Amino acid sequence: MELAVVKINGEDTGRKVVLSESVFGIEPNDHAIYLDVKQIMANRRQGTHDSRERSDVSGSTRKIKRQKGTGTARAGDIKNPVFRGGGRVFGPHPRDYYSKLNKKVKRLARKSALTYKAKDNEIVVVEDFKMEAPKTKEYLNILNNLKLDDKKTLLIVSDADENLYLAVRNLPKAKVMRASSLNTYDVLNGGKLIFTESAVKVTEELF
């Protein structure tokens, strides 16, 4: 697949980039995508949830009523889970949700996600650029020139750019990340993918 390289002002540079079929044109594997996204979301969980069971709740252990003859169910202490303020039964406790996935499966998932984006014409290639100052207005102008100001976008660059990151972080529909940090979830959730010219090469070399 060939894509035209455009300038940040929206004009055509006259150059074209040929997307590698081995990265952007494979047979997508939906199950690999599912496994990778599931692992990414699980690993992002903090796992700090906690609840108090009957041994953790403060309260008297005195038997609150006699065993028989009340016409109601038998009950022990006030910390019984059926009473208001009692302990919770089988509640959550802190745990680690980390799971492992083979590198080959993760690579296949990322290539499958990029292939879907390429098939849906959701990839734009722009020439490499640097921001002189961390100004959100300047990045908005770039999106306006590319006619992407009203769309969700993910800008993929080859190297870290602190000014660019600071300019983008305030925009709810825009995100920037390095090609080396690209993952399946961000590709699928990123909307329109904006690759810089050098980021395309880095992505193809990595995958």
pLDDT tens-digit map of 54-96: 999 999 989 999 999 999 999 999 999 999 999 999 999 999 9
The verdict on 87 and 126 lying in the same domain is no
Question: Which of the four pLDDT bands, split at 50, 70 and 90, describes residue 160?
Answer: confident
The verdict on 39 and 54 lying in the same domain is no
Question: Which of the four pLDDT bands, split at 50, 70 and 90, describes residue 1?
Answer: confident
The verdict on 164 and 201 lying in the same domain is yes
Last residue of a domain, one of 80, 96, 112: 96
Last residue of a domain, one of 96, 124, 158: 96
- The domain in which residue 83 lies consists of 46-96
The verdict on 106 and 202 lying in the same domain is yes
The verdict on 73 and 173 lying in the same domain is no
pLDDT for 69: 93
pLDDT tens-digit map of 31-43: 999 999 999 999 9
Number of domains making up the chain: 2
Question: Which of the four pLDDT bands, split at 50, 70 and 90, describes residue 10?
Answer: confident
pTM of the predicted protein model:
0.83
Last residue of a domain, one of 96, 113, 134: 96
Report phi then psi at 138, rounded to 5: -65, -40
The verdict on 78 and 151 lying in the same domain is no
pLDDT for 29: 96
Residue-wise DSSP of 168-189: HTT-TTEEEEEGGG--HHHHHH
pLDDT for 105: 97
Indicate if the alpha-carbon torsion angle 178, 179, 180, 184 is positive or negative.
Answer: positive
The verdict on 18 and 82 lying in the same domain is no
What CATH number has the domain bearing residue 164?
3.40.1370.10
The verdict on 110 and 188 lying in the same domain is yes
Q: Please enumerate in sequence order all residues whose Cβ is within 8 A of that of 183, keeping only pairs 6 or more positions apart, or say none.
A: 36, 40, 110
Per residue in 136-153, is it b (16+ CB within 10 Å) or e — as a string? eeebbebbebbebeeeeb
The verdict on 140 and 174 lying in the same domain is yes
The verdict on 91 and 105 lying in the same domain is no
The verdict on 113 and 196 lying in the same domain is yes
Mean pLDDT over 154-161 rounds to: 92
